[in-house]
Amino acid sequence: MRRVILFAFLALSLSSCHGKLGLTTVELADPVRHYYPILQGQELTIIAKLTNTGEEPLVVTDIQPSCGCITTDFKCDTMIPPGQYLYVTIKYDSNKNVGLVEHAVRFWGNISPDGMAQMRFDVNVVPDANYHHDYEELYDKDQFGGTLKDLVTGTGRDTGLGYYTDL
């Protein structure tokens, strides 16, 4: 019985297709993008177009964003025939960022020369004025158990210096 199972396993493994997929070239439309400012908490939707410009079919095995605040609608192991393209919807959630943010999205597959294509984007996330106050607005407010003016000028109640150290 063992011989029959071993023979069947060897016959199936020898008859299976072991074609290796070659490397191909791709073109990523606008790989470096600068977006106009958005308010903190808004979602930025980005459409990336990945075109297979090579002779071999392109198999995109993974898409890795540089931040957890970025999501995609990507399905694993998507194949793109030569001359065809793939649209990927990328969503950036600006809820936890303020100021100029720069992110990258990497497309992995049988891409020549190093298996990866990369798209970079930046956007200025503007805080909502209801939650973030200017320094001048806080300067005279009674906050932190004393005014910010007292903390800055060294008459604050904690250290008297207006700052703290790790020691």
Fold (CATH) for 26-126: Immunoglobulin-like (2.60.40)
**Interval 47-64: pLDDT, tens:** 899 999 999 999 999 999
Mean pLDDT of 134-162: 50
3-state secondary structure the chain: CHHHHHHHHHHHHHHCCCCCCCCECEEECCCEEECCCEECCCEEEEEEEEEECCCCCEEEEEEEECCCCEEECCCCCEEECCCCEEEEEEEEECCCCCEEEEEEEEEEECECCCCEEEEEEEEEEECCCCCCCCHHHHHCCEECCEEHHHHHHCCCCCCCCCCCCCC
Domain ranges of the chain: 26-126
Residue 136, pLDDT score: 56
Residue 140, pLDDT score: 53
The overall pTM is greater than 0.85: no
